[in-house]
Amino acid sequence: MTARATRTPPSEWTDPRHVRGLRGELAALAYLVSCGWVIEAHRFRLGRHDLDLIIRRQDVVAFVEVKTRRSQRYGAPMESIGWKKRRTIARVAAIWALRNGRWGDTFRFDVVEVLDVAGRPPEVHHIPDAWRIDQ
């Protein structure tokens, strides 16, 4: 018999990086909804991997990776998404598309960069079609 992992609710998280990441995802979610996107899923999990956001506008579905940073001291947040992460996102996205996609859907990969500086509202930058699977 295997032990099942229990999930800690966000209200009990103690790691500030996780809390900042969730804040960034919620800021991205609010921004995308204000731009006319419909949220299909938030934190879609497949095993130990997840997709931050899956959004839809008519027949376009975007799998969104949200990167939240306190500063750009070490480069743009998007630069931290390497080929392994992209490959993992593509694999999880393919499963989501098989389970939930509709005939005629067009799929793409987006990035939302969130700059979360204390004392200021978060700055959100949406990068549509940030990469292709064949890249």
**Distance between CA atoms of 98 and 5, rounded to whole angstroms?**
26
Range 15-131 has CATH code 3.40.1350.10: yes
- Pair of tokens at residue 24: 């960034």
Extended beta strands in the chain, E state: 38-46, 49-57, 60-69, 106-115, 123-131
Dump pLDDT digits (tens) for 43-76.
999 999 999 999 999 999 999 999 998 888 888 8
Question: What is the pTM (predicted TM-score) of this model?
Answer: 0.88
pLDDT band at 36 (very low <50, low <70, confident <90, very high): very high
Pairing of strands 123-131, 60-69: unpaired
Burial of 75 (C-beta count, 10 Å sphere; 0-12/13-18/19+): exposed
Average pLDDT score over residue span 2-20: 72
pLDDT band at 1 (very low <50, low <70, confident <90, very high): low
> What is the percent of the chain where pLDDT is above 90?
61
**Distance between CA atoms of 122 and 68, rounded to whole angstroms?**
9
